[in-house]
Structure 1
Amino acid sequence: MGISSPGIGSGIKVDEIVSKLMAVESQPLADYDKKSASYLAKVSAFGNLSGALGSFQGALSGLTSVSSFQTLISTPSDPTVMTATASSTAQAGNYRVNVSQIAQAQTLASTGKKSTTAAIGLGAKTTINFSLGTASGGTFGITGTQLGASLSSGGLSPGSLSINNTAIATDGNTRSARLLADAINAKSTTTGVSAKAAATLTSATLFGAAGASTFGNIDTSGGGTYTLSVGGVEIATQATGVAAGAAGGITAASLDAALAPNSAARRALADANITITGTAAGGDLQFKNEDGSNIAITEAVSGTVTGGIGNSGTANIGSSTTAVSSISLVSADGSPITVGGTDPTKAGFTAGVGGAYIGASFAADSSRTSGNIVIDSSNNTLQGIMAAINKGNFGVTASIVSDGSSGTNATPNHLILTSSSTGASSTMKITLAGSGGNPPDSELVNLLGYDPGGVQNLSQKAAAADTLATVNGIAVTSTSTGINGAISGVTINVLKVGSSSLSVSKDSGSLTGSVSGFVKAYNELNNQIAQLGAYNPDTKTGGPLLGDTTLRNLQASIRRQLSTSITGLQGTSLTNLSQIGISFQKDGTLTLDNAKLQKAVTNNFSDIAGLFAAVGHSSDPDVKFVSSGTNTKAGDYPINITQLATQGTLQGDAVLPAETVIDADTTWTVTLNDTKPATLANTATISLPAGSYNPSQLATLLQSSINGVSAFANAGATVTATVGDDGKLKLASTNYGSKSNIHIATATGTDISAVFGTGASVDGLDVAGTIGGYTATGSGQTLTGSPGGPVDGLKLTVTGETTGSRGNFGFSQGYAYQLNALAAGYLGANGALTSRTTGLNNSVKDIAKQKDAFASRLGDIEARYRAQYTALDSSIASMNTTASFLAQQFAALAKQ
């Protein structure tokens, strides 16, 4: 049986010996750990460097565009009236803005319906066309009837009339249309409604009918007297004792003579604002007062008199006739007018809410979309009509609103239509047409027919309106609440009616902050680099990246870029950081001289951006900088254009007639800006309302119909339609380039040849040319430098009308832009820091594998040592046993 405990048989300390031997054998494990710790320390150090460089890049990201340095502050004195933003192109200054009206969309409401799902009409196929445009040349309000007969004598008692819930101050003296209009206008600030009195005109049959005179010769031979007065002006008088027709007697002829031009009576009437038409002899004599004042015609008689107005040879006992007028109400903002009061009929109005366009005309706006919906038995309900309109997506939205009325005969449900855009040119015109030669459904016409210049079956609840304002006294108009262009580079957002001053000034504080942030970010990065690569002579220790080439290269690259002047700048005297007060100190940090910076802000505000951002300047104003790439090099590059970008067009070759007739059920298939292979969404069918159109109306119809297709609008595809001086119609895609095209084919109804003749479609072309002599790729109006050259990634938009040399384009990369690109190169997936970190982590993994392998070998070495010493222990134990036996034997032999 072997020895179970090493050393027991021999006395050798096997475990201690093996342990000490293995301690010597295991010493390389500490070297592995030390090497791994060194690598991990560098990984951590590169992590810190990446974090610092990432923070530096983050600080640079806001400094790489021109807008970061050329911002201006726009400050309104009353921010409740408006807000404003200023771009880098704005000019500093002070402006006075007065807003008198805010843009709004038109809203129309239908008459009420009992149910939203009940059928409207018989279900005959009816096409409803929606056009958007401008109502002009009239007013919106209510035209009253002639004032009550009793008003001229008794006036209008207090409380008889109210407008928009405001009582109009009337009394017994309110006896004419003019006085009533004055009373209404006195409250217009409160009501938003003004009044205009119609001209007062005496009866057309007062002095005769059908050309026959009924003014009889005056006879005062019986002892009477006669006087005729008009509007308080004495026209003719006859003393007693004058027979009918005698010399000096009043006849129709003598009356006309008394009213002759330049006569005393005529001048007196003119002073009373009364004009004359017709003659007494002709039986059509009338008196007119333009301001709406009453005209009283009085025959004063004493004693026995015959003849006069309305009689011949019969007794005249005197007469008094007062002509009165009517008034019309005008809503200042196109809102409905509420008429009330105890007796509005005496003022010529019916109690209730109303209003319509009066004397207006409608003109479609080609820049607004138009569209059609088809209503038949499948959707002729309020809900069906609403869904069809909203699905059309052509500039009008629909909803259903209940007024809350109830009862057996209640009709609470109203279809509400609202133009999607604000502005006066978003006024709706809704026309309906039947199909197959049949008229449109009459109930649909009664529900939806609306023409500001004609029948208005819908009631307007809010008028389409522009924003109206003045800027420094100059009137400006905008279709939205935003005002652009009134002040160059400034966008004003109107909030309410009112006045406010606007101060536009250089945002020097933001610019100073940006420059200070740049210096601070660099110094923080520089401090981190210094700590990682520093050496302490006192402790004789170095930073984790002391002597590291990656760290040294990064530091050297940053300092080299900051010490190099910017090239490619045109028209500026600022080319280095020292000119704005930034300079290096002995310890490698940057310092900022604020006084020098402020001087540069004052004298070279717009040039500072070029020191930090990527900037492009062209000698040709029609060549504009879009963007650059990481491979774009600073420089001055000549531009040569061999081909300008063009639009896809469909040019008619037939002169349009004075009127072009579009038949009912006319539909055309339009393909706009299609691709290869074709895309289904780029083709749509438009419906053209039947009618007769002049060239301008036809162009408007086509443009708005095509632009009203939702699929086109969603893709940003639109067209313009123009009639040239030659009278021919031209459609053009608003896009440029090889993807710009338009094709139209007849589907049903009027053939396109009636409009375009045999005209053909021509696809657009991309811009072509070179930048600095290097090849470039055109896409629409954008020219992009091709890879491989210094203009790689440089994008320019080229407009204008000339080919050939287009001047020079100077491109510069400011310090922030260059350093941002440098940082991206170090931090990217293939960047130097990423590569170094990956390499170090791989080294740590390799060391761990080597350590595991070596540790595995140590087990074998220990086993071998134990086996050897265990064998030695056994041998010595055996020899000890033998020695002990021999000793015993020798001792025994010695005794013998």
Structure 2
Amino acid sequence: MSVVSSTNLGLQPPPIIDNSIVGGFNASEIIQAEMQAYEQPITDLQNQQSTIQSEVSDYQQLVSDLQSLQSAAEALSMSPTVSTTSAWAARSATSSDSSVATATAAPGTPTGSVQFVVQQLAAAESLVSSGTVASTSDVVTSAPDFLLSQGGAELGFSSLASSGLTLGQHTVSVTQASEAALATGTSDLASQSSVSVTSSNDTLDVTVNGTAYSLTLASGTYTGSQLLSALDAAISSAGAGGVIEAGYNGSGQLVLATVDQGSTQSLQVTGGTALSTLGLSAMSSAASGTAAVVQVDGTSTTLSTVTPGATVSLAAPTGSVSATVVSAPSSIGGSLISVGSLTATDVSTGNGSLADLVSSINDAGTGITASAVDTGSGYVLQLSSSATGVANDLSVDTQAFASSSLGTLQVASAGQDAEIQVGGAGGYTLSSSTDTFSNLLPGLSVTAQSVSSTPVTVTVSPDASTVAGDVQTLVNDLNTTFSDLQKYAGYNEQTKTGGPLMGSAVLQNLLNELQSTIAQVVGTSTLGDAKNVGITLSSSSSGTSVSFDKSAFEAAYQANPAQVEAMFTQGGTFSPSASSYSGQVSLLTAEDNTQPGSYGVTITNSATQATDLGAVLSSGTVSAAETLTITMGSSSVQVTTSAGESLSAIAQAINQALAQANMPMSASVVDSGQQLELASSAYGSSASFSVTSTNTGSGTTGLAGTFTGSDVQGTIDGVTAQGSGQVLSLPDNANSPAAGLALTVSVPGITSSTNLGTFTYSPGIAQSLVTLASSMTNAVNGQITETINNLNQQSSGLTSQIDFYQNIAAEEQKLLTQQFSQLQVTLEKLQNQSTSLSSALAGLP
């Protein structure tokens, strides 16, 4: 019989020895006995592989523990100035009187307090009919439909009515606002306490829509408000009342405006002795108003003349809308009709009865509720807005049912915005369409509960309870990790047995690092180690554990939130090479792989803003007019200067325009008041703007061109870093332990290689745990990850060996089966021969 052998692992299977051929043997038992020698190596290898796979499973459980720990630590590892998801950004808001106002604070809300008085709460408008009907079945209208809308006053329409519109929703949009013809002064008259008017400075000549008016001010000494009253009296005396009006804009400058608005309106200041006193100048040509353009379902109507309180017809694809213009603009020079849109719904009045009308309005779902109210002497129609605030006032035809006994619709309760007075008499008033105010502090939401003349104070502070909950989660994950380390790699004193991974250098290093992070002073906090904030490390024969005193933590955090935060978060200190660099290099952020240590910082160029420095004007004023167009990205503003205007006044006008356009840049006067300078707020190559001028000649500002900032350039730890604005950073894959470190460098004026000093990166408890967990579990080079990969490779190698021996065993079993099968055939033949011989012998005499 042949013998099959293998040289793999130095194992040699034993030879097969033929059994004696005797009757009654069991071939299967013999083959099974012979195969045991071949199957034993397979069993040994499978047991070895099972042990490895069990170890992999144990390591994977520790990876899961560390990933949970890393997630909990990341929430505590960064300052809220870097990450809005930081646990340290949690804020609590408390009110000194919750019956007057309550408050909530979003993460990152600036800490501090604000005091205010609740002057009024928001209310929804309600209209009620002036008359009654005896029954809800009484007919109250013969019109087939009724137009429902809200917020028309925001567009400039006090009411909207249907004229042949189709039933259903319709969009009313103002695409171009109406404007009056205006003349605006340059002086802040509103804040003046003493303006003298005599016979030498008392006249003002204006021409409105081609008609000349001469205004004469009464002599006297006026405050700003008194001067405006005197001007109103002069307008009335000149017969210009109802034609022009006067007022102050937000800067306190005098504004003359036509009462009507639209492109048909014109106004020109032509002269007078009061021009200088009023801050006006004669106009070379008349200023014109602007027509309003209103669309109904896409069909436009141009209103070239807009008169306060007038009714205008707005065309629609089918039918039209009859709109009543509001009685006055919101401010002097403001638009009667303003850009915006609303949705109006035309509903059927059914059979014209009160019941059908109420049902149709309520079924339309427009936010307007209709009710037939039984007063005891008849039914009135009541319409109510479901939303509070002036912007949600009803814009319906109040005369729609005047032909019936219902009469006109009158205001039962006026819609109003909630109002609070912030900071006392010298403060300011805020309004909201609801009782909630979201603009007191960024992230602070205050809800007024009742009107009160007594000030209420809302205080925003760090939320110790929420942060303590996040620290508790971190401690829980630490204890889970310590418990599993003891289970898998520790020694059980009671059973005198070690865990399956005991002796692993990787896990011993992990245990040591975890213990060290909790036990030692880390970060830049002055509070010392974790015990001072309620975190205590203890070790015993049963392993390591961490306890957390939540009350002690909250007390420490409330007493000194900045230092408690510094104990956990990324941090660092800068040691400048010269005192002039002190405080000008700071940590922005670091990555998980950034190692603690001290790193030299050298820069070759400071970051700069985009800056435009104008012409030197020794007088501090311009002698020629120009119009400046300042563009940044997709935003631009225009500012017109006039001859004799000071650079400081021009800078003020530019800054006002930039603020209104939310453009992050500013103007200032430099060089002892002789130059204008425009500068972007941001630093770096991404900060850019351009300026064009209609006049670049002598005596102008000299502001023109395209301007771009530059990024900081330099090295960290001797490795070339990347610059973005004032941020100098090393990429994650940099060949340095400082890889991933990003610093803010605000040192100005450097243009050659300069050693600024040394920055020492000192991660706190949470960031140290993040770095440790990442070094153990990251997919590229994590220590535990590499251990698992090595074990899996060993397991794969054993699989190949198992397959090899299984093939040998299968072949041997096949051979034995064939041999015993042949043997069985031979035995059967012999048996048959034996039977034949026996029969033959039995037949012999």
Confirm or deny: 8 A CA contact 1:113 1:414 kept in the other structure. no
Q: How does 1:396-415 map to 2 (within 5 A)?
A: 411-412=322-323
Instruction: Trace 1:702-713 onto structure 2 (pairs within 5 A).
Output: none
Taking the TM superposition and a 5 Å limit, the aligned residue runs for 1:555-704 are 555-566=511-522, 569=524, 572-575=526-529, 577=531, 582-586=536-540, 587-592=543-548, 606-617=562-573, 620-635=582-597, 643-653=605-615, 655=617, 660-661=624-625, 672=632, 682=633, 694=645, 699=651
> Which segments of 5 or more consecutive residues in structure 1 lack a partner in the other structure?
1-5, 140-285, 291-324, 330-349, 366-372, 389-400, 433-460, 673-681
Whole-Å separation in 1 of the counterparts to 2:748 and 2:592: 31
Quote the RMSD (CA, aligned, Å).
6.4
Match of 1:46 among 59, 65, 72: 59
| Letter paired with 2:62 | L
Asked if 2 retains the 8 angstrom alpha-carbon contact of 1:69 and 1:514, the reply is no
* Alpha-carbon separation, structure 2, partners of 1:550 and 1:384: 74
Counterpart of 2:379 in structure 1 is none
Aligned partners of 2:492, 2:38: CA distance in 1, in Å?
A: 35
Cα 1:466–1:659, aligned 2, differ >3 Å: closer, same or farther? farther
Confirm or deny that 1:731 pairs with 2:678: yes
Structure 1 contact 671–742 (Cα < 8 Å) conserved: yes
Select 1:76's aligned residue among 95, 99, 121. Answer: 95
- The 3-state SS of whatever aligns with 1:870 is helix
Contact 1:616 1:811 in 2 (8 A): yes
- The secondary structure found in structure 2 opposite 1:861 is helix
From the superposition, tell whether residues 883 and 852 of structure 1 become closer, same or farther in structure 2 (CA, over 3 Å): same
Q: What amino acid sits opposite 2:712 in the alignment?
A: V
The 1:583/1:11 distance shift into structure 2, 3 A limit, reads: closer
Pick aligned residue for 1:834 from 775, 785, 810: 785
Supply the distance in 2 between the matched residues of 1:606 and 1:755 (Cα, whole angstroms). 51
Separation (CA, whole Å) in 2 of partners of 1:35 and 1:751: 88
Q: Give the whole-Å Cα distance in 2 for the aligned partners of 1:462 and 1:751.
A: 53
Task: Give the Cα–Cα distance (whole angstroms) in 2 for the partners of residues 529 and 623 of structure 1.
Answer: 41
Q: Hey, what's the Cα distance between the residues in 1 that align with 2:833 and 2:186?
A: 131
Q: Report what 1:867 is aligned to.
A: 818
Cα deviation code 1:352-405 (max 9, x no counterpart): xx999753245499xxxxxxx999xxx9841399999xxxxxxxxxxxx99999
Q: 1:123-160: per-residue Cα shift (whole Å, max 9, x none)?
A: 9xx99999999998669xxxxxxxxxxxxxxxxxxxxx
- Residue 764 of structure 1, aligned match among 692, 709, 714: 709
Q: Match of 1:812?
A: 762
User: Which residue number in structure 1 is paired with residue 476 of structure 2?
Assistant: 520
Residue of 20, 28, 43 corresponding to 1:30? 43
Q: Could you tell me how far 1:589 is from its partner in structure 2? A: 1.8
Structure 2 letter corresponding to 1:81: A
- 1:20 is aligned with what amino acid? A
Which whole-Å CA distance do the structure 1 matches of 2:587 and 2:120 have between them? 38
- Cα distance in 2 for residues equivalent to 1:600 and 1:826: 32
Q: Distance in 2 between matches of 1:759 and 1:743?
A: 7
CA shift for structure 1 position 526: 0.9
> Letter of the aligned partner of 2:422 in structure 1?
A
Q: Is the 8 A contact 1:107 1:418 kept in 2?
A: no
User: Helix, strand or coil: the match of 2:614?
Assistant: strand
Partner of 1:17: 30
Q: 1:319-371 deviations in whole A, cap 9, x for unaligned?
A: xxxxxx99x99xxxxxxxxxxxxxxxxxxxx9xxx999753245499xxxxxx
Q: Which residue of 2 aligns with 1:780?
A: 725
Specify the structure having the higher radius of gyration (Cα): 1
SS in 2 for 1:588: strand
1:818: Cα distance to partner? 0.8
Shift of 1:75: 1.1
**How far apart in 1 are the matches of 2:702 and 2:722?**
36
Name the counterpart of 1:62. 75
Is the contact made by 1:107 and 1:462 (CA closer than 8 Å) also made in structure 2? no
- How far the C-alpha of 1:650 sits from its partner, in A, is 2.7
Pairing 1:457-468 to 2, within 5 Å after superposition = 468=421
| Separation of aligned partners in 2, 1:133 and 1:857 | 105
Task: Give matches, 1:179-578, under 5 Å.
Answer: 358-361=246-249, 363=251, 381-383=293-295, 411-412=322-323, 468-470=421-423, 475=427, 493-496=445-448, 498=452, 499-503=455-459, 507-510=463-466, 512-534=468-490, 543-566=499-522, 569=524, 572-575=526-529, 577=531
Judge conservation of contact 2:156–2:337 (CA < 8 Å) in 1: no
User: Deviations for 1:483-532, whole angstroms, at most 9, x for unmatched residues?
Assistant: 778xxxx9754545753134566655455545544433322211122122
Q: Is the deviation greater in 755-764 or in 38-47?
A: 755-764
CA deviations over 1:654-686 (Å, ceiling 9, x no partner): 648657545xxx896x664xxxxxxxxx57887
Find 1:855's aligned residue among 789, 798, 806: 806
1-structure distance, mates of 2:487, 2:636: 71
The residue that corresponds to 1:109 in the other structure is 156
Task: Please say if residues 296 and 314 of structure 2, whose CA atoms lie closer than 8 Å, have aligned partners that are also in contact.
Answer: no
Alpha-carbon distance in structure 1 between the residues aligned to 2:482 and 2:680: 55
Q: How far apart, CA to CA, are the structure 1 residues paired with 2:774 and 2:187?
A: 58
Q: Work out the CA distance in 2 between the residues paired with 1:85 and 1:795.
A: 30
Could you tell me which amino acid in structure 2 is paired with residue 625 of structure 1?
L
Alignment TM-score, normalising by the size of structure 2: 0.54
The SS at the match of 1:412 is strand
| Conserved? CA contact 1:134–1:427, under 8 Å | no
Counterpart Cα distance in 2 of 1:767 and 1:531 = 51
Distance 1:466 1:507, change over 3 A: closer
TM-score, reference length from structure 1: 0.52
3-state DSSP of counterpart to 1:26: helix
Question: In structure 2, do the counterparts of structure 1 residues 750 and 578 end up closer, same or farther at CA, with 3 Å as the change threshold?
Answer: closer
Q: Tell me how far 1:779 sits from its aligned partner.
A: 1.9
Structure 1 residue 287: Cα displacement:
15
Taking the aligned partners of 2:829 and 2:564, their CA distance within structure 1 comes to: 97
Question: 1:792 & 1:132 partners in 2: Cα distance?
Answer: 59
Identity %: 22
Distance in structure 2 (CA, Å) of the matches to 1:592 and 1:554? 21
Q: Is the 8 A contact 2:691 2:705 kept in 1?
A: no
8 A Cα contact 1:774 1:791, kept in partner: no
Q: Is the 8 A contact 1:132 1:429 kept in 2?
A: no
Q: Distance in 2 between matches of 1:752 and 1:463?
A: 54
How far apart, in 2, do the equivalents of 1:750 and 1:431 lie? 35
SS of residue paired to 2:295: helix
Q: For the residues of structure 1 that align with 2:60 and 2:799, how far apart are their CA atoms?
A: 21
> Could you tell me how far 1:109 is from its partner in structure 2?
2.0
Number of aligned pairs?
Answer: 597
Is the 1:534–1:543 contact (alpha carbons within 8 Å) kept by the matching residues of 2?
A: yes
Q: Distance between the aligned counterparts of 1:892 and 1:133, measured in 2? A: 152
